[in-house]
Structure 1
């Protein structure tokens, strides 16, 4: 950079036909804020994008000289691109495909965004008297060209005959590349939230608070507690093996979070039986078959040692997925995994609705089970197999009981469980392909272990 600022690589990702994306943090490495201290300043992110045509395996065809010889284009402030080379650099929040990102992070009290945030705060607190006296936006998670999650910290004030009252409030926003998609997600979230409020059950998603249509920005409540001992926990924290030794137990065992797994199963059953109306065609097993074949091809290129096995399994899986005939398509999450969950006490919330669709409920069940596997399973670490088997059985039993209580017959429940094994196998191909996406070394033993899990899923689905 011109001012000799250091860059620290934070994210490297490659997808077939989409090229390579690298996100760097500019300046000194960002440290986690100490508890009770002020949050650090938002990071400065530099994004480098390289088109698929400029890549050859794990190598980049471009040289520094190539880039210097071509005149760059800068149609958007903070973005520099050389389309002829398939190379672009963006200085966050500038983003050619997420043009409203800068405006969604601007919290000057005169900005139009403040009005939307004020409406959201009033909806959250059920009180139209509150006004924003200050606001701060912090990017939390960013996927270049696609979406960005933002935490808004609001200082609120209201006046009454009893005096002036002030309070703090956090809400979350997500900027989407397609404003129409943002509207559709918000409409579905409102339906889902209202459905659970109507039947007296706990909502399974954070309360939707509004949508800024021109920005493609959806707003929702932040899941929080007034009790420090009951701080929110992520699904990745909760749904993993934990060493536990009981009183007078000489052997350390891996504890299964049975209560949390049952809560997840209950929430998923609530989504599948919610009756929420979602537009568009269903997400079919044929689509999952196509994706599995694409991922197997990527794995074969990345690691020739497992190429034949990966392709053969993908062909058999595709044939069986194409033959699936679900009883009905239902509201589905489309990417249901531990990282999409937030726990508060005994309650669980689904916090990412980008992939909402109509699909076979078995898709979500299989997706979740694939990601429930601990990474230690790929390295054959002791007790991991037993932990996963116990955790999966706990989840499946709770899910079956929950959907039967909601009027789904036992035969349909059995069919979902059987088909879920094939969707689980397809999702395991995705997990295996992540090694190539992130430019890791081939690790054939790890890939063989994942392919072994795929074989087991397909065998159990017979």
Structure 2
């Protein structure tokens, strides 16, 4: 794709960037759907200065003939180029590659996230006082605001970090704070904001065991949720750099057990049929990606589906990963609660365990260290939940391993064939009662 982008992307005037590298980092495709979404990171360099930068590009390929070109023309007539920040104007934000029948869009333009360019452009008049209020008493002014995109999934959402250097004009004091802005394609962020506000108001009921990230505001016009930075250190950083990481893992296990046994209200249900569908989609993708794994995948899928059972629903985070959990002294803080639902509580534990053993975001952690973390987590979690939950753990762990393997393939992570084989084999071991 490097040569393709070099030939077809059109530089904006007075921005003669050259594309040095093109790195695929995510794709979405489901058999039976009408399109494929491919995301790339472009490494750019300005020849005159030698300065480099990165920009995300998305390619969309449609099954219906002419659809990509039609959408390209539609977007080109409606795009508000003036809303794209100057720093992100490298190539035309929308283009069409005839050879591939591919529609290409460049971040931050996204027709399903129309407010994203404005969020990337800086603080709005409504947002600025809200963020300055977080600095506390005094006459605070913005000295500098650095804006950095942290995560982007085409048409689905983005996370942007604002790092603000504030200055108190009354005391001449300086302080730097970070804030996270989550941009949504719909008003779902409003639900998350209301949930987080509700949890903050009744924090005493669960704060002994865990807490959640503090919401600052929801900006309806921008479909954007504004959050404070989580205190402490992420579990991911602890696992990567702390020699006593198992103590942290056990603290997290107790917090997850408390979350699953809390009375947090859920507005959505994660049903058993949803769980089956997720597993079957993941297994189908893996069969296509690695045909040699089909017999083992068929065996695992059949055993897991047969082992699933209806149980009383409990609060579940549904997206627990090492970078969604922070430790601040004895406190455990959960972030990214958009998927909070009511479902089988062991889904949370096994989801996190699968990400740990797969070493997602933990590439320097050895397999032995990851397995020790999984075992420590499972042991501590089981010590703090009803015994009836224990026997469901292997079933859901096997399902989670298949699902995380599918995610690794979608992201085309390095050495994915070997990783997929190891994770599917681990799923078989889980069903045999061997973590």
TM range (shorter): 0.7 to 0.9
Partner of 2:410: 437
**Structure 1 Cα separation of the partners of residues 137 and 390 of structure 2:** 45
Equivalent residue number for residue 92 of structure 1: 107
Deviation at 1:131, TM superposition (A): 5.0
What is residue 172 of structure 1 aligned with on the other side? 180
Answer yes or no: is 1:363 the counterpart of 2:331: no
Choose from 391, 398, 415 the match for 2:373: 391
1:453 aligned to 409, 426, 435, which one? 426
Of 258, 268, 273, 2:246 maps to 258
Give, in whole Å, the separation in 2 of the partners of 1:193 and 1:42: 42
**Is the contact between residue 293 and residue 311 of structure 1 (CA under 8 Å) also seen in structure 2?**
no
User: What is the distance in 2 between the residues matched to 1:443 and 1:116?
Assistant: 42
Distance in 2 (alpha carbons) for counterparts of 1:372 and 1:305: 25
1:237, distance to aligned residue in structure 2 (A):
3.0
Q: Is the 8 Å Cα contact of residues 107 and 114 (structure 1) preserved in structure 2?
A: no
TM (normalized to structure 2)?
Answer: 0.78
| Matched-pair contact (CA < 8 Å) for 2:43–2:52 | no
Matching residue of 1:221: 228
> C-alpha displacement at 1:98, in angstroms?
0.9
Instruction: Name the CA shift for 1:302/1:286 in 2 (closer, same or farther; >3 Å).
Output: same
Q: Distance in 2 between matches of 1:176 and 1:157?
A: 31
TM-score (normalizing by structure 1):
0.74
Aligned partners of 1:106 and 1:90: how far apart in 2?
Answer: 18
Over 3 Å counting, the alpha-carbon distance change for 1:428 and 1:130 in structure 2 is same
The 10-residue stretch of structure 1 (335-344 or 290-299) with the greater mean CA deviation from structure 2:
335-344
Distance 1:311 1:103, change over 3 A: same
Deviation at 1:429, TM superposition (A): 0.8
Gaps of 5+ in 2: 1-8, 82-91, 361-365
2:130 paired with 1:119: yes
1:183 deviates by: 0.4
Judged with a 3 Å threshold, the aligned counterparts in structure 2 of structure 1 residues 277 and 306 are, in CA distance, closer, same or farther, namely same
1:146 to 156, 179, 189: 156
Q: How many residues align?
A: 395
Out of 285, 301, 310, which is 1:325 matched to?
A: 310
Of 299-308 and 202-211, more deviation after overlay is shown by 202-211
Q: How does 1:147-296 map to 2 (within 5 A)?
A: 147-158=157-168, 165-178=173-186, 180-197=187-204, 201=208, 204-224=211-231, 232-239=232-239, 257-280=245-268, 282-296=269-283
The alignment status of 1:107 with 2:122, answered yes or no, reads yes
Q: 28, 51, 72: which is aligned to 2:45?
A: 28
Structure 2 CA distance for aligned equivalents of residues 127 and 329 of structure 1: 44
Match of 2:29 among 5, 16, 27: 16
How much does 1:81 deviate? 5.2
Match of 1:410 in 2: none
Deviations along 1:214-238, whole A, 9 cap, x unmatched? 11111121235xxxxxxx5432332
Give me the CA root mean square deviation.
3.7
Deviation at 1:132, TM superposition (A): 4.2
Secondary structure at 1:325 match in 2? coil
For residues 311 and 203 of structure 1, the distance between their equivalents in structure 2, rounded to whole angstroms, comes to 39
- Whether the 8 Å CA contact 1:170–1:221 is kept in 2: the answer is yes
Aligned-pair CA distance for 1:312: 3.1
Establish whether residue 352 from structure 1 lines up as the match of residue 336 from structure 2: yes
In the alignment, which residue of structure 2 is the partner of 1:414? 387
In the TM superposition, what whole-angstrom CA distance separates every residue of 1:321-380 from its partner, at most 9, and x where no partner exists?
2xx121x2122111112132233445432222222112211100111111121559xxxx
Q: What secondary structure does 2:257 align onto?
A: helix
Mind listing any 5+ residue stretches in structure 1 that lack a counterpart? 30-40, 55-60, 225-231, 243-254, 377-382, 404-412
- Once the two structures are superposed, residues 43-70 of structure 1 have per-residue CA deviations (whole angstroms, 9 ceiling, x without a partner) of 552412223639xxxxxx99xxx98xx9
Contact 1:256 1:390 in 2 (8 A): no
8 Å CA contact 2:26, 2:410 repeated in 1: yes
